[in-house]
Each structure stands twice: as C-alpha cells, then as structure tokens.
A and B are shown apart, each in its own frame.
Chain A
Amino acid sequence: MKKVKVATVWLDGCSGCHMSLLDMDAAIISLGRKIDIVYGPLVDAQEFPEDVDVTLVEGAVSSQDDLNKIQKIRQRTHVLISLGDCAVTGNVPAMRNSIPVNKLLQRIYVDGADERKLVPTDRVPVLLKQARPLREFVKVDFCVPGCPPPAKTILGLITDLLEGRKPDANQPVKFG
C-alpha cells in the first residue's frame, strides 16, 4: 500500500504541539507504517514537497515568512489542519497583538537587552502587525484546538483521515 504523505509545520508556536504528536507512545510505530513524514521539524527535507496529503500546522501566522510559507503549503497540500490553539486562535503569540510592532521590538531588543542594544534587521523575518490564526489567511480543513491538543485526539484525527472517514465532529475539543 502506498504510504500517505504527511507534513508537519512549525510557525509561531512553542513546539508543544509537536511534542504532543510524539507523545502517542507505541501508536506512533504502527502509524509510521502507514505514513511518510515528508517535511517538518522532525525530518530533514529543506523544501516543502508538492502533492502532500495531510499537513499539520502548529503555531500562529506571525511574520511575513510564516505567511509566504503557509500560502505555498496550502497550494501543495490536500488536507490542511490547524493543530493547537496558536494555529486555531492565535493564543499566546497573539498576546502581543495590541502592542505596535516597533514598540515591541524596542522593548525586547533595546530596553530589555543587556548588551548589543539593537533591533535585528538581517536574516530575521519581518513581523506582521499581528499574529493571527491560520484560517484568517488560508482555507483550513480541520481545527484541533488545545494547548497542546492531547496525543489521543491527534492520533484519532490522523487515523480517521487515513481510513477515509470524515473526522468525528463530536469528539471532545477544548481550548487551552
């Protein structure tokens, strides 16, 4: 049987959702027989491949870089999943949203720094005015809230998709 191509993406988040993904104990072994992880922090691929079946996205869209990435990913993915509160609601990354970006950078890199008081401009992605959920930029097929979502929920969703079922809408979900 052809393996299903799965990618994971880490935008503005804490990697907790990825940890939760790995937290499914022995189930990960049987899952590994059915899927290929083709892109993401867990593997080495440099370029997001074409024609990915399922992509799990952790984190809010916070920088221009995130935005470019997610738009490209959307074009190359059949099923896009917002994984965790940051991707679904903005969550913690969005707590900066009422502060103007220049003030924020000033506070962190200048006022808050002990040395080299300078706002970095080189090789650092330009921040968007606000960090916002995925759904406000691209079409999202499923949302799994939680901070992080429980491993069981993630496994349930992936299993449903692998077996060609529409993910169970009545599965308990919880923000936070």
Chain B
Amino acid sequence: MAQKKLSIRIDGQLISAEEGQTILQAAKANGKYIPTLCALDGLTPVGACRVCLVEVSGVDRLFPACTTPIQDGMSVTTNSPRLTRYRRISVELLLIERNHVCAVCVSNGHCELQSMATAFGINTVEFAYNYPKLSLDTSHPRFVLDHNRCILCTRCVRVCAELEGAHVWDLTSRGIHARIVSEMNEKWGQATSCTSCGKCVQACPTGALAEKGWAVEEMVKNLGTVTTLVHRRGVEV
C-alpha cells in the first residue's frame, strides 16, 4: 500500500518522506546523518542512548530521532551547539561509566563508542572515572560477554528476541546497577535457549560481546548481517 507523503524540513532542507517514518529514517533516506548508538536498522528503536536527540521547531524539549514519528510540516534541526554539547556529555558518561580500556580491547579500532568519541573530538572527559568492578562471562564455547565494555544499548536483547526469536538476553537491576543477563541470570554457556547464532555479537557496538579467539583489534563486527536478515526474512518491526 502506498504510504502518504509528508513534507518536513531537516536542517532547513525540504524533504519529502513517508508517513509513519521516524525522523531518523527520513533523515537517512535523504542522506542526512544523525549520530546513533542504540539504534540499529531493523530493530525496534528504544530511545535509550540519547545521542540522536534533535530539536523540533516550536517545541522546547528535545526528541530522539529514532523513535519520533515525523509530522507534516515538522522542521528538524540535527545540529546545534546545545545538541553537540549534550551528545558529547552522553558519550563522556558512557566512557566513565565502565572500563573502556581501548588499548586492550578486541574491538579496538572497530568500536562504535570509540569512533563516536573520535567523531566528537573527545580527547579527555570532564568527569571522574567510575572504575567499577565488573565480571566477564566466558562460559559460552564460542562467545564472550565482557560487562566492562557494555553500554546497555540493548541491541543484543532486541536482535535475539525480534530476529532470532530466542529472547536469551534481558536487562536486570536498576539504574547504575543495570546489567545484561542471559536467561534468568544464568551463565551464558548454560543458557539452553541460546542457539549460538551470534547475531547479538554482530549487533553489539563495542567489545562487550565478542567471538572467542581474537586478540586486541581483531574483532570486526558485521552490522550489515542484521539489517540484511531483516529484509531477507521480511520481518516487520
């Protein structure tokens, strides 16, 4: 069924987009870049990382581009000093929250958090590091979960539930204590629902989920697989 066309402005440029699209989708379709961390094409957006926040004319509050549907006549600003400052704080807070020791990380050089820090020109953070004590789950024969690198984007949770249909992953606890858990807080290796398909590993933006056997810098993710699978299987999300 043909979708109704809406016209919106992104950074002043008039754009024609389909009703039902989010700001992020409309922007992408028209070659406009909005930074994202938790969003992944093909998965339900959750609006958790807040780096895709944009300004909408006439409204004081900021909107996450990944979850906000477009409205006819909407005028969106994707970049402003305020947005830059806030996006930078979000990335800085992720860097201090856990132990992102890039130098010894399998994903060094292929990490979305690391490259976003580079993109934002972050050469130091304003806040003191937390250095929490976090564990590593190496019980799975092929994969490893390192909480030190996790940014709680929940891509793994969503890809497993929505694409693989296994729903191995979920979040436990609240606030700063929130963690990714497999099944009912079992060791990943003991999670019987896990099909070892590896989609979560490919979807993970950092070195939190990785394949075993790779050394520093060697873990290269293939995010495209997730999107390709969605389209190939015609999964509607």
Direct chain A–B contact by Cβ atoms under 8 Å: yes
List residues of A whose CB falls within 8 A of some B CB.
82, 85, 88-92, 94-95, 97-99, 130, 132-133, 135-136, 140, 142-145, 147, 169-170, 172-176
- Chain A residues with CB below 8 A from B124, complex form: 82, 88-89, 133, 135, 140, 143, 145
A81, B99: Cα distance in complex, Å: 23
B121 touches A147 (CB 8 A): no
Cα–Cα, bound, A15→B133 (Å): 27
Q: Is the CB of B133 within 8 A of A89?
A: no
B129 at the interface (CB under 8 A from A): yes
Residue of A at shortest CB range from B115? A174
6 A-B pairs with CB atoms under 8 Å apart are: A94-B131, A135-B124, A143-B124, A144-B123, A145-B124, A147-B102
Q: Which residues of B are found within 8 Å of A172, using beta-carbon distances?
A: 118
- Decide if A176 touches B108 in the complex (CB within 8 Å): yes
- In the complex, the answer to whether B101 meets A91 with C-beta atoms within 8 Å is yes
In contact, A91 and B103 (Cβ under 8 angstroms): yes
Instruction: Please give, as numbers and ranges, the residues of chain A lying within 8 Å of B103 by CB-CB distance.
Output: 85, 91-92, 147, 175-176
B237 sits at the interface (CB 8 A) = no
Contacts of B131 in A (CB 8 A): 90, 94, 97-98, 130
Which of A85, A91, A140, A176 lies in contact with B109, CB distance below 8 A? A176
10 nearest interchain CB pairs?
A176-B102, A98-B133, A147-B103, A143-B124, A97-B131, A175-B102, A173-B123, A176-B108, A143-B123, A176-B103
The docked-state distance in angstroms from the alpha carbon of A110 to that of B109 is: 37
Interface residues on B, range: 20 to 34
Q: Which residues of A contact B121 (CB under 8 A)?
A: 169-170, 173
Q: B2 — which chain A residues lie within 8 A by C-beta? A: none
Say which residue of A99, A136, A145 sits within 8 Å of B123 (CB atoms).
A145
Q: Do A133 and B132 touch (CB < 8 A)?
A: no
Residues of B within 8 A of A (CB): 95, 99-105, 108-109, 114, 117-118, 121-125, 128-129, 131-134
Q: Which residues of B contact A145 (CB under 8 A)?
A: 123-124
Which residues of the partner chain A approach B114 to less than 8 Å between Cβ atoms? 174-176
Besides the contacts A82-B124, A173-B123, A176-B101, what 18 more A-B pairs have beta carbons closer than 8 Å? A92-B101, A94-B129, A97-B131, A98-B132, A98-B133, A98-B134, A132-B128, A132-B129, A136-B128, A145-B124, A147-B103, A172-B118, A173-B121, A174-B102, A174-B118, A175-B103, A176-B103, A176-B108
A103 nearest CB across to chain B (Å):
12
Contacts of B99 in A (CB 8 A): 94-95
Give chain B nearest CB distance to A107 CB in angstroms: 15
- Complex Cα distance, B234 from A47, in Å, reads 70
Provide the bound-state CA to CA distance between A147 and B124, in Å.
14
Query: When chains A and B are docked, how far (Å) is the Cα of A99 from the Cα of B134?
Result: 11
Instruction: Give min CB distance, A160 to chain B, whole Å.
Output: 14
Contacts of A94 in B (CB 8 A): 99, 101, 129, 131
A167 to chain B, nearest CB (A): 10
Residues of A contacting B109 with CB < 8 Å? Answer: 176
Known A-B contacts A94-B131, A176-B114; A88 and B105 likewise in contact (beta carbons under 8 Å): no
A89–B132 Cα gap in the complex (Å)? Answer: 14
State in angstroms the CA–CA spacing of A151 and B51 once bound together.
32
A97 to B105, CA, bound (A): 17
Question: B128, A85: Cβ atoms under 8 Å?
Answer: no
